[in-house]
Amino acid sequence: WKKLYFVHHWPVTVCKMTANDCQDPPQYWTIHGLWPDKGEECNRSWHFNVSEIKDLLSDMRHYWPDVLHSSLNRTQFWKHEWDKHGTCAATLEILNSQKKYFSKALELYQHIDLNSFLLKAGIKPSSSYYQMIDMKEALTRFYGVTPKIQCLPPEEGEKAQTLGQIEFCFTKELQLRNCTAPEGESASMPTDFKLGSEELSICSDTLPTYYPPQVQ
């Protein structure tokens, strides 16, 4: 693989996508995962073991919660992320253990500090709509790279898309890079996030964008 996607999702939108028992989703961006751009389940015999990350658990529950299942003792989501993506990322020495993989993702989350940036840029959950172009420009200006932004397309009768996920791309040296594929590199993406029948896709530049303050 060539690059890593570091993926944040907006818990309110995640809850909107599913008929699950989402109880009071966090009102801040949380981690969805750290994904190499190719490969899934690279080592099926390397099983997730929560005791390897026990000193990370309070941070994990706060910044990388299982939004859909509010019970604090659930480790299914982390297990899924490790099995599917972590075992592939582990070809890099800096990510070659469960402890390193999860703690590095938490470090990247603090480093990017997306929640603070959006507030500073005046982009906050609101009942009025944003223009995707403005959002993109603000992010690119601040981070110096183009992230990938995903939305829920409008439902029937709606005119706006709903902001769902913001992905930052990193090189194998963990330097920020553009998420757009340079010439000669395929733009193939990890499969888009899907829950039930609704799924996120790249946000349209022309549709108004809803950044929902709470689950409707």
Each residue's pLDDT tens digit, 129-140:
999 999 999 999
**Which CATH number does 4-210 carry?**
3.90.730.10
**How many residues would you count in the chain?**
216
Catalytic residue among 9, 32, 62, 173: 32
> Of 204, 186, 189, which is closest to residue 149 (Cα–Cα)?
204
Tens-place pLDDT, residues 55-100: 999 999 999 999 887 676 789 999 999 999 999 999 999 999 999 9
Residues 102 and 63: their CA atoms lie apart, in Å, by 11
32 catalytically annotated: yes
Measure Cα distances from 172 to 92, 139, 164 in Å.
Answer: 7, 22, 26
**Cβ neighbour number for residue 180 with a 10 Å cutoff:** 12
**Any idea where the domains of the chain sit in the sequence?**
4-210
41 catalytically annotated: no
Sequence-distant (≥ 6) Cβ neighbours of residue 51 within 8 angstroms:
none
Q: What does the block give as tokens for 60? A: 């994990």
Q: What is the pTM of this model?
A: 0.91
- Which residues of 10-54 form beta strands (DSSP E)? 30-36
Residues 102 and 56: their CA atoms lie apart, in Å, by 8
Catalytic residue among 8, 9, 85, 167: 85
Strand partners, 118: none
Sequence-distant (≥ 6) Cβ neighbours of residue 157 within 8 angstroms:
none
